[in-house]
Amino acid sequence: MLFLQLVISGIAQGCIYGLIALGFVLIYKATETVSFAQGELMMLGAFGGLVGMTLLGFPYWLAVVCAIAAMALFGLLLERVVIRPILGQPAFSVVMLTIGIGYVARGAITMLPGIGTDTQALPVPYKDEIWKIGGNEFGVGALVLNVEHMAVIGATAVLCALLYALFRYSKLGVAMQAASQNQLAAYYMGIPVQRLNGLAWGLAAAVSAIAGLLLAPITFVHANMGFIGLKAFPAAVVGGFGSLPGAIVGGLVIGIVESLSGFYLPDGFKDTAAYIVVLVMLMVKPNGLFGEKLRKKV
C-alpha cells in the first residue's frame, strides 16, 4: 500500500516534469533550440492564475483559461521579439538568451510590490481534499489519494489526448510535424514555417502555464518555483529530446524514481535522483528511450 502511495505521488510529480519537458520538446522540435526559460514560463502561468483569482476575483475556471491564454500570447510575443532575430546563430546563443529571459522573469516577479517576495497558496476548489480507497471501517490501511495529485494526473492525461489529436488529425498539427522534420521542404510546400515556430512557442508557453497551475496547489506560488524546470531537462533527455510521448514518459520515470528514492534511499538521493538517472541514461543510451538515432552527414 505504501509502495502504491509512493508511486502515485511520484506519478503526479512526474506529470509536472513531463508537462514542462513537453514545452522543451515542442520548442526543440520546431526550432532546434533549447529553452531554459520553460520553468520561468511555468512560474509566470501560476502567477497569472493567482492574479486572476485573488486580485481580479475571477471564478476558478475563468482564471485558469485567462492565465493559459495570456501565457500563450506571451509565448508568441517572446518568439517574435527576441527568439526570431537570433535564429540561425549557434544554439548556445539561444540557450544564453533564454537563461536571460528566465532571469528577467524571475527578477520582474520578485520586484512586484506585495506579492513578489511572498509565497502564496493558490485558492483552488479542490484544495486539501483526499479520497480514501479500501481499508477497514476506521480507514486504517486505506489508500489515501490526494485530490491535488489526482487533478495533476487527470489533467495531464486529458492534455496529452488533446495534443495527440492536434498532431494527428488537425491540419495545423500535421503542418507542425512537417516543419519540424524538414523546414525547407515544408516551406516549399507552402507551410508558413515562421508562423508555426511562433505557434510552437505559444503552445509550449501554454503547456507550461498549465503545469504551473497544476503544481501551484501542491507547492505554493513563489518566484523561485521555476527552478523545477531544471528537473524537467532530465525528463526530456530520458525520453529522447525530440519525442513528445517521450517527454511525458521521461517525466514519469524521473518522478517515480525520485519519489521511491526519497523513501527507500538515504537523504540527499531524492534531490539528485533525476540527475543520476540522466547521467546513466546519457552513458547507456544517449538518444533516450524514444529518440531516433541520428547520424550527421558531412
Partner 1 sequence: MRFLFKTDYAQDIRLAKHGGHVFWYSALLLLLFVAPWLFAEYWLAQLTLVLIYSVAGLGLMLLAGFTGLFSMGHAAFLGVGAYTHAVMTNAGIPFPIAIVCAAGLAAAVGLVVGLPALRVKGIYLGIATLSFGFIVEEVLARWESVTGGNAGIHIAKPNLFGWVLESGTEFYFLCLVITVTATLGILNLLRAPTGRAFVAIRDSEISAQSMGIHLAYYKTLSFAISAALAGVAGALYAHNLQFISPDQFNILQSIDLLLMIVIGGVGSVHGAFLGAIFLIAMPQVIAQVKDFLPATVGQAPGLQGLVYGLVLITFVLFEPMGLYGRWLKIRTYLQMFPFYRKGMFKRQKSFQKSDRLK
The DSSP letter of residue 56 is: S
Distances (CA, A) of 120 to 49, 61, 112, 139, 233: 12, 19, 14, 32, 26
- What is the per-residue binding string for partner 1 in 193-232, x denoting contact by CB under 8 A? ------------------------------x---x--x--
Q: How many angstroms separate the CA atoms of 213 and 151, rounded?
A: 11
Please say whether the beta carbons of 256 and 11 come within 8 A.
Answer: yes
Query: Which of 2, 57, 61, 113 is in the footprint of partner 1 by CB under 8 A?
Result: 113
- CA-based nearest residue to 109, from 253, 221, 277, 4: 221
Site membership for partner 1, residue 118 (CB under 8 A) = no
Site membership for partner 1, residue 139 (CB under 8 A) = no
Site membership for partner 1, residue 78 (CB under 8 A) = no
Residue 133, all three cell numbers = 480507497
- What is the per-residue binding string for partner 1 in 173-192, x denoting contact by CB under 8 A? --------xxxx--------
Residue 145 or 274: which CB sits closer to partner 1?
274
Residue 173: burial class (beta carbons within 10 Å; 0-12, 13-18, 19+): middle
Query: Which of 1, 56, 96, 157 is in the footprint of partner 1 by CB under 8 A?
Result: 96
Question: Residues interacting with partner 1, by CB under 8 A?
Answer: 32, 34, 82, 85-89, 91-93, 95-97, 99-111, 113, 116-117, 181-184, 223, 227, 230, 233-234, 237, 241, 267-268, 271-272, 274-276, 278-279, 282-283, 286, 292, 294-298
